[in-house]
């Protein structure tokens, strides 16, 4: 059975810049303050700078795909099925 991931890792270096829309212009940037260091500890995003226009900001290092949306909806269905089985069992045995 194939294992499906919900979050797919991606490298924003190969994305286009959100300001000037140029491809392959982003590179990792160092944290400048204590607050940025704390935010950088969370592995969901990193700080990037654009070589072309100088934009600096946060980009997510994970992304969703249609496969991950299918996995999430499957988990939601399983949660509802398990909850209704537990609810039925509780109402059957506890009167
Ligand atoms: Zn740019």
- What's the pLDDT tens digit per position in 11-43? 888 889 999 999 989 999 998 999 888 888 888
Does the residue 33 lie in any domain? Answer: yes
pLDDT at residue number 8: 81
Distance CA 37, CA 3 (A): 33
pLDDT score at 1: 56
Number of domains the chain is built from: 2
Residues spanned by the domain of 21: 9-63
> What is the rounded CA–CA span in Å between residue 84 and residue 95?
17
Q: How far is the CA of 54 from the centre of ligand 1 (A)?
A: 6
Q: Are residues 36 and 56 in the same domain?
A: yes
Are residues 53 and 15 both part of a single domain? yes
Res. 3: pLDDT tops 70 = no
Output the six-digit token pair for 85: 């089985």
How far, in Å, CA of 54 to CA of 66, rounded? Answer: 33
Which tops the pLDDT comparison, 95 or 10? 10
Centre of ligand 1 to C-alpha 85, Å, is 53
Q: What is the DSSP letter of 25?
A: -
For residue 14, being part of any structural domain is answered with yes
Distance 19 CA to ligand 1 centre (A): 5
Instruction: Please list the residues that pair with 56 across neighbouring strands.
Output: 49
Task: Give the distance (Å) from ligand 1 centre to CA of residue 52.
Answer: 5
38-89 pLDDT, tens digit per residue, is: 888 888 889 999 999 999 999 988 888 888 889 899 999 999 999 999 999 9
User: pTM for this one?
Assistant: 0.64
Which residues have CB under 8 Å from 5's CB, separation 6+?
A: 68, 71
């Amino acid at each position: 059975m194939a294992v499906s991931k919900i979050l797919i890792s991606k490298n924003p270096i190969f994305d286009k810049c959100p300001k000037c829309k140029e491809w392959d212009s982003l590179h990792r940037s160092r944290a400048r303050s204590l607050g940025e260091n704390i935010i950088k500890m969370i592995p969901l995003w990193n700080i990037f700078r654009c070589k072309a226009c100088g934009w600096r900001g946060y980009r997510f290092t994970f992304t969703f795909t249609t496969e991950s949306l299918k996995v999430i909806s499957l988990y939601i269905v399983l949660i509802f099925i398990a909850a209704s089985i537990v609810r039925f069992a509780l109402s059957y045995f506890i009167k």
